[in-house]
Amino acid sequence: MNAAAIPRTSLVRSDLRTLALSALGGALEFYDFIIFVFFTNAIGQLFFPPDTPDWLRQLQAFGLFAAGYLARPLGGILMAHFGDRSGRKRMFTLSVFMMAIPTLLIGLLPTWASIGYAAPLALLGLRILQGAAVGGEVPGAWTFVAEHVPDRRVGFACGTLTAGLTAGILLGSLIATAINTHFSADEVLAFGWRIPFLVGGVFGFLAVFLRRLLSETPVFEEMRRRHELVRGLPLKVVLAGYGRAVVFSMLLTWLLTAAIVVVILMTPTLIQKLFAIAPARALAANSVATLFLSIGCVVFGVLADRIGALRALKIGCVALLLATYALYLGLARMPDALFALYAVAGFCVGVVGVIPVLLVRAFPPPVRFSGISFAYNVAYAIFGGLTPLFVTVLMKVQPLAPAHYVAALCVLGVVVAFATRRTAIA
């Protein structure tokens, strides 16, 4: 199930331009989606009744953040439907536009003090729109870049695009740090929290402009020319004929969520509690890890092109397992090695750059967007939402639960790779 029968074996200038603009647009859109989590404290204070207990206010704010994840499957499935029927580029551009509008509106939204309960309800609606947008963005982006490049460069393309998405997380972290450094706590509550959202809205419209410069994928154009576009509901075709590919893709997405959610998103908070590391130092180390994650995505993508995606996946899973244990066990003995240990772990999380290569090849072009979108978004909504709760509960009886959880999913990744090594997915 190759991405396309493109005779070229090397990247040309138009391919590099497509990758650069796609990765930049993905970074800007992911920034828009993730910036919310860095200001949950301020949002909790401003959008809920002032007499709400602190723990409940924090829980409600994180609930609003989680709503974006729950909306991902619906948005992803709808956008993938039209992406398979009427074109990848249209949905690729629409997803970033759908993200820019609610991000800008969040920055302009009146708070509880002005409109009461309408404030959190409006914020919930805007987060749902953001979730729907990102649900179409990630599968659409992987499909778009993979269908633009020669088959032997799909790993580099998907790794580069995934690096762009993770760079959006880093951008959000840096801007949040800058806001909290240059403004006092009262100033952040008064107006500072709005700045990242307003900037994000502008970023989003810039990404829309950049994506309008891109062209439709050669694979889709060829299918349209030959009248080979899927008829009926693409998702129905996927579920009826590609159930094995769906399960395969969902298992790999589970691995992806474990790596990103636990190692990148949860670890800064966890190591503060486990090893008494100062918050500022933990967040700074997290920025370094995220930078190395972006580098790792490209490296593992190139490795997939050189030795095959399944072999690269097995190597990456073993490396991630070892690096995660090294991080958690190493900090207990050598807390001064935080930056080095976290950088290595972040780089190994870059194995997630191999996963989109396998997802792209798991489905044929006529239903590729819908197949990836359904499997990825449903799995991410389930495992991405449950992972923090599951790991937190396990930590009550086993402090190394985060490392054990990631290790278990790495083993699963190796098992999946061996189980599928003789299939067309390989």
Q: How far is 122 from 284, CA to CA, in rounded Å?
A: 33
The pLDDT value given to residue 423:
52
Q: How far is 228 from 231, CA to CA, in rounded Å?
A: 9
| Domains, the chain, ordered by start | 7-229 (1.20.1250.20), 237-426 (1.20.1250.20)
Token pair of 52 as six digits: 């709400």
Highest mean predicted confidence (pLDDT) among 15-19, 109-113, 298-302: 298-302
Mean pLDDT of the chain: 88
The pLDDT value given to residue 14:
78
Quote the pTM value: 0.86
Task: Specify burial of residue 385 (Cβ count, 10 A radius: 0-12, 13-18, 19+).
Answer: middle
Question: Is the confidence at residue 421, as pLDDT, over 70?
Answer: no
* Bigger pLDDT: 322 vs 180: 322
Q: How far is 303 from 316, CA to CA, in rounded Å?
A: 10
Judge contact between 172 and 27, C-beta under 8 A.
no
Judge contact between 65 and 384, C-beta under 8 A.
no
What is the per-residue pLDDT across 21-51, written as a single tens digit (0 to 9) for each? 888 878 887 888 778 877 877 888 898 888 8
> For the chain, what's the residue count?
426
Point out the least confidently predicted range of 21-30, 128-137, 161-170. 21-30
What is the per-residue pLDDT across 212-269, written as a single tens digit (0 to 9) for each? 888 888 899 999 999 888 888 899 999 998 999 999 999 999 999 999 989 998 898 7
What is the per-residue pLDDT across 64-95, written as a single tens digit (0 to 9) for each? 777 777 788 888 889 999 899 888 888 888 88
Judge contact between 29 and 204, C-beta under 8 A.
yes
